[in-house]
A and B are shown apart, each in its own frame.
Chain A
Amino acid sequence: MALRVHRAGILTTVQDLGRYGYQRFGVPVGGVMDEYSHRLANLLVGNAEDEATLEITLAGPRLEFTEDALIGVCGGDFTPTIGGRSVPAARPVLVAPGSILDFGTCRLGCRAYLAVAGGFDVPRVMGSKSTYLRGGFGGFEGRSLRRGDVLTIGEGGAGLYPGLRAELEQGAAFAYPRWSVNANSAFLAHDHHRIHFIPGRHWHLFSEESQQQFAAVQFRIAPDSDRMGYRLEGAVMMLKQPTEILPEAVTFGTIQVPPDGRPIVLMANRQTTGGYPRIGEVATVDLPLLAQLPPGDTVQFEPMTLEDSQRLYLNRDRDLGIMREALQMRMKL
């Protein structure tokens, strides 16, 4: 069973939850930008949450399924269609053999995640299926997808959603249930996005004016933002006095400030270490929202305690666990 790429889109890559255990060798974690949508897409089709999905960026691909497939699309709205008919997001969709799934350009958010029951059968490199473009390894041949690529899909999805299977056997091109999961994508429609951050180790090194500004200013996501980092425009962060920082570990969401004073939020493809002062770290629960914001959108940062941030993280996982159980019931129908 396979997925044939008719059109690749701007940047379509195989990603999972990241490559952990190799940062001491300088290997970036990488993985999906929006972990929540990725996990949800996998849950819909009965995959493990760390199975690889396709991360689709800004303008989407056109993909043919050689055999029937159970798929789930979550994240940004790319108005996917099959045969001109809209394919709904945030629910399982069973597609007939030969179906061509066509993603448009992104209307809301900027990344969508396509999960296929059985996952993508690409080799694990250092324990992960994530594509690392700069290093040329992981994912599908270490690169983004191109026209003509054929990705093998693993075994999975057999016997799930027998109701949808019955609809397909009656001749439907694709079938989906009436329900959908709460994919939390509605919040993307707002103009004004609040992102929580935990003030960091070097917070006190910044001038009081910069500290006040950081949580008051509307920052705009600069055009040169990507999977490695989001550059922010709107205020320049000044240190109280020039301070040299010895390089140390950084993480997904570290907000560092290079000498030009323009903050950069480090994202999925960040390096493993950094040598600039950091204002703080974005709360992990808010990273999926940030990852969905395209250049030009504005964000406002709001301080949060570590206790609250970890509590929200645990709560979100509990909610996903409840969703997993609910879906396991529905898969039998």
Chain B
Amino acid sequence: MAESKLGAFTLAPLGDGVLLIELGDDASDSTAQRVQAVAEHLLRQSPAGVRDVVPAVCAVALHYDPLLVEQPREGATPYDALAQQVTERLASLDPARRAAGREVEIPVCYGGAFGEDLAGLAEAHGLSADEVIALHGMPVYRVQMLGFAPGFAYLAGLDPRLSTPRRSTPRTRVPGGSVAIGGELTAVYPLDLPGGWHLIGRSPVRFFDPAAEQPSLLVAGDRVRFVRISADEYAALDKGASWR
């Protein structure tokens, strides 16, 4: 356990090639902010040997090559050497001084063939489909983390009235662009993928582009707002629309 302006954090190994920085044990906004601050700081100033910085809900993972970690003294393991460098780097970090995430608007055409589960989900909560759409479009969501698939962003901030356990039998193919609810989270499937979340609509936006400098539209820490569009607007945006 170490202390800094950042507050308490714990370092732990994940096998012989990952160092995990634990910053809390909950999915709160304050934990998320510290996770973001640490991830951004270590992305800017990665210790030698680090090849990926991966923020999740309450921890940041540093994937490293043990061969390339700088070892100041003979006999220390690469893990111990890296842990010491990370502790030193985090000592000077003030989590309050960080760039605010971007706010991204995502157009969604709700229901119909795009949102096969909308009616069922509304019924399960004793709501009308329009009420579900309104509740889904209200909050400013926070990108908690990326995972599952390239560009798949877990969005926190769902109205508790829409919280829905995942389907007991996942679909083998969910079309890319599908807007879905799973548990207390919402997300957009960036590609055609298998999935167990409830589909309520579809976005014409491109969420993942392997050729782009930032291949994922959304990154951890971004804020997201969903904007309802009609089927005609969807069709217009879908023609050659690119998120850039």
Residues in chain A within 8 A of chain B (CB atoms): 20-29, 125-126, 132, 134-138, 198, 200-201, 246-254, 271-274, 280-284, 306-307, 309-311, 313-314, 317
Evaluate contact between A246 and B27: CB separation under 8 angstroms.
yes
Question: Please, what's the 1-or-0 string for B197-237, where 1 marks a CB less than 8 Å from any CB in chain A?
Answer: 00000000000101100111001100000000000000000
Evaluate contact between A21 and B52: CB separation under 8 angstroms.
yes
Interchain CA distance A253-B67 in the complex, whole Å: 18
Evaluate contact between B146 and A249: CB separation under 8 angstroms.
no
Evaluate contact between B15 and A201: CB separation under 8 angstroms.
no
Evaluate contact between A247 and B220: CB separation under 8 angstroms.
no
Interchain CA distance A247-B17 in the complex, whole Å: 18
B57-65, B88-96, B113-121: which lies at the interface: B57-65
Evaluate contact between B146 and A24: CB separation under 8 angstroms.
yes
CB distance from B109 to the nearest CB of A (A): 24
Q: Does B77 contact A (CB under 8 A)?
A: yes
Evaluate contact between B79 and A247: CB separation under 8 angstroms.
no
Evaluate contact between B14 and A249: CB separation under 8 angstroms.
yes
CB distance from B59 to the nearest CB of A (A): 5
Residues of A within 8 A of B78 (CB): 310, 314
CB distance from A215 to the nearest CB of B (A): 16
29 A-B Cβ contacts within 8 A?
A21-B52, A22-B150, A24-B53, A24-B54, A24-B220, A25-B214, A25-B219, A26-B152, A26-B190, A27-B216, A29-B52, A135-B149, A246-B27, A248-B59, A249-B14, A249-B61, A249-B63, A251-B17, A251-B63, A272-B54, A273-B146, A283-B16, A307-B77, A309-B16, A310-B16, A310-B66, A310-B78, A314-B66, A314-B78
Q: Does B13 contact A (CB under 8 A)?
A: yes
Which residue of chain B lies nearest to A312 when distances are taken between CB atoms in the complex? B16
How many chain B residues touch A (CB < 8 A): the figure is: 50
Residues of B within 8 A of A138 (CB): 210
Which of B12, B39, B67, B79 sits near A317, CB closer than 8 Å? B67
Evaluate contact between A284 and B15: CB separation under 8 angstroms.
yes
Residues of B within 8 A of A28 (CB): 150
Given contacts A24-B220, A249-B56, A306-B79, A314 and B67 within 8 Å (CB-CB)? yes
Evaluate contact between B211 and A125: CB separation under 8 angstroms.
yes
Residues of B within 8 A of A252 (CB): 17
Given contacts A20-B63, A247-B57, A284-B16, A25 and B150 within 8 Å (CB-CB)? yes
Evaluate contact between B14 and A201: CB separation under 8 angstroms.
yes
Evaluate contact between B57 and A282: CB separation under 8 angstroms.
no
Which residue of chain A lies nearest to B78 when distances are taken between CB atoms in the complex? A310
Given contacts A246-B57, A306-B79, A314-B66, A26 and B14 within 8 Å (CB-CB)? no
Residues of A within 8 A of B53 (CB): 24
CB distance from A225 to the nearest CB of B (A): 17
Interchain CA distance A192-B54 in the complex, whole Å: 36
Q: Does B179 contact A (CB under 8 A)?
A: no
Interchain CA distance A106-B135 in the complex, whole Å: 56
Evaluate contact between B51 and A313: CB separation under 8 angstroms.
no
Interchain CA distance A246-B183 in the complex, whole Å: 13
Evaluate contact between B56 and A313: CB separation under 8 angstroms.
no
Residues of B within 8 A of A311 (CB): 77
Evaluate contact between B58 and A246: CB separation under 8 angstroms.
yes
Evaluate contact between B56 and A23: CB separation under 8 angstroms.
no
Residues of A within 8 A of B190 (CB): 26
CB distance from A59 to the nearest CB of B (A): 25
Interchain CA distance A317-B145 in the complex, whole Å: 34
Q: Does B107 contact A (CB under 8 A)?
A: no
Q: A25-B214, A310-B66, A317-B67 are in contact. List 9 more A-B contacts (CB 8 A).
A: A24-B54, A25-B146, A26-B146, A27-B216, A246-B58, A247-B145, A281-B15, A313-B66, A313-B67
Evaluate contact between A126 and B215: CB separation under 8 angstroms.
yes
Evaluate contact between A310 and B56: CB separation under 8 angstroms.
no
Q: Does B177 contact A (CB under 8 A)?
A: no
Residues of A within 8 A of B148 (CB): 26, 271, 273
Evaluate contact between A271 and B147: CB separation under 8 angstroms.
yes
Q: Does B191 contact A (CB under 8 A)?
A: yes
Residues of A within 8 A of B16 (CB): 198, 281, 283-284, 306, 309-310, 313
Evaluate contact between A273 and B150: CB separation under 8 angstroms.
no
Q: Does B18 contact A (CB under 8 A)?
A: yes
